[in-house]
Amino acid sequence: MSTFDLICARRTIRKFRQEPVPHDLLMRTIEAACMAPSAMNRQPLKYALIEEPELCKKVFSLIRFAGSLPAARPTQQEAPTAYIAVLADRNLDTPWLNADVGASVQNILLTALEQGVGGCQLGAIDYEALSALFGLPEHLKLNSIVALGYPAMTAQAVPFAGDTKYYYDEDGAFKVPKRTPQQVLISIK
């Protein structure tokens, strides 16, 4: 698949089959994260892999999926089977942290997808409890979590028609409205 096709095919996955994601595949996503663009090439991010089932269970209880659509939330039997905690190194402070995170997480998600693994970036997480659970040192600040696993759902992008909220259509298909190039392109002088 071309990079463009992979980018267009990627949708957030929130329900997963209960199969482990191979460690080597997770390591490849970290390698991809390390290759992401970074403001001033400061590379302020660190990552922690969460693969052990008991730890995954604890993480699952401290994150929140699909705030606007309860039916899209995974049950414990549909929970992610791996996580990557994205951590900001306070010793490498940068005003562009969130831009770096975005580039890095997209690399992670696309690299995972190329191998058939879906994912969801999560900002709705219990930062305090997760930081304590991970025993993070003072200089590492939890930024977000990427949930990963083999998809137990499909999702399609549809053109934006007035509402950005994702939804299930009348046939039970999961749809994600996306603004089109025509809707976002602005003419300038």
Which residues of the chain form contacts with ligand FMN (CB under 6 A)? 11-12, 14, 64-66, 120-124, 155, 166, 176
d(C-alpha 163, C-alpha 60), whole Å: 29
d(C-alpha 106, C-alpha 120), whole Å: 10
Using the minimum distance from each CB to ligand FMN, give the nearer residue, 24 or 142: 142
Smallest gap from residue 56 Cβ to ligand FMN (A): 16
Q: What is the residue type of 76?
A: Q
Smallest gap from residue 172 Cβ to ligand FMN (A): 17
Smallest gap from residue 89 Cβ to ligand FMN (A): 19
Q: What is the residue type of 135?
A: G
CA distances from 104 to 96, 116, 124, 151 (A): 12, 19, 18, 21
Smallest gap from residue 10 Cβ to ligand FMN (A): 7
Using the minimum distance from each CB to ligand FMN, give the nearer residue, 24 or 167: 167
Using the minimum distance from each CB to ligand FMN, give the nearer residue, 144 or 189: 144
Q: What is the residue type of 115?
A: Q
Planar angle of CA 105, 110, 115, nearest 5 degrees:
130
Smallest gap from residue 188 Cβ to ligand FMN (A): 27
Using the minimum distance from each CB to ligand FMN, give the nearer residue, 20 or 177: 177
- Tell me the residue number closest to ligand FMN, measured at CB: 124
Of 1, 53, 47, residue with least CA distance to 26: 47
Using the minimum distance from each CB to ligand FMN, give the nearer residue, 67 or 95: 67
At residue 58, the 3 state secondary structure works out as helix
